[in-house]
Chains A and B, each alone.
Chain A
Amino acid sequence: KQEVTQIPAALSVPEGENLVLNCSFTDSAIYNLQWFRQDPGKGLTSLLLIQSSQREQTSGRLNASLDKSSGRSTLYIAASQPGDSATYLCAVPDRGSTLGRLYFGRGTQLTVWP
Chain B
Amino acid sequence: NAGVTQTPKFQVLKTGQSMTLQCAQDMNHNSMYWYRQDPGMGLRLIYYSASEGTTDKGEVPNGYNVSRLNKREFSLRLESAAPSQTSVYFCASSGGLTGLEAFFGQGTRLTVV
Counting chain A residues whose Cβ lies within 8 A of the other chain, the interface size class is 20 to 34
Cβ contact within 8 Å between A106 and B42? yes
Residues of A within 8 A of B101 (CB): 34, 46, 49, 100
Number of interface residues of B (CB under 8 A): 25
Cβ contact within 8 Å between A46 and B102? yes
Cβ contact within 8 Å between B100 and A98? yes
A90 to chain B, nearest CB (A): 11
Instruction: Given the known inter-chain contacts A44-B90, A89-B43, please indicate yes or no for A100 contacting B33, CB distance below 8 A.
Output: yes
Q: Which of B14-22, B65-73, B104-112 participates in binding chain A?
A: B104-112
Task: Report if A83 contacts B (CB, 8 A).
Answer: no
Cβ contact within 8 Å between B45 and A100? no
Known: A31-B100, A100-B33. 11 other contacts (CB 8 A): A43-B90, A91-B43, A98-B99, A100-B92, A100-B99, A100-B102, A101-B48, A101-B58, A104-B42, A104-B43, A105-B42
**How many A-B contacts if CB must be within 8 Å?**
63
Q: Which residue of A lies closest to B40 (CB)?
A: A106
Cβ contact within 8 Å between A107 and B102? no
Residues of A bordering B, CB below 8 Å: 31-32, 34, 36, 41-46, 49, 51, 89, 91, 93, 98-102, 104-107
Cβ contact within 8 Å between A43 and B106? yes
Cβ contact within 8 Å between B104 and A100? no
A64 to chain B, nearest CB (A): 13
Residues of B within 8 A of A44 (CB): 90, 92, 104
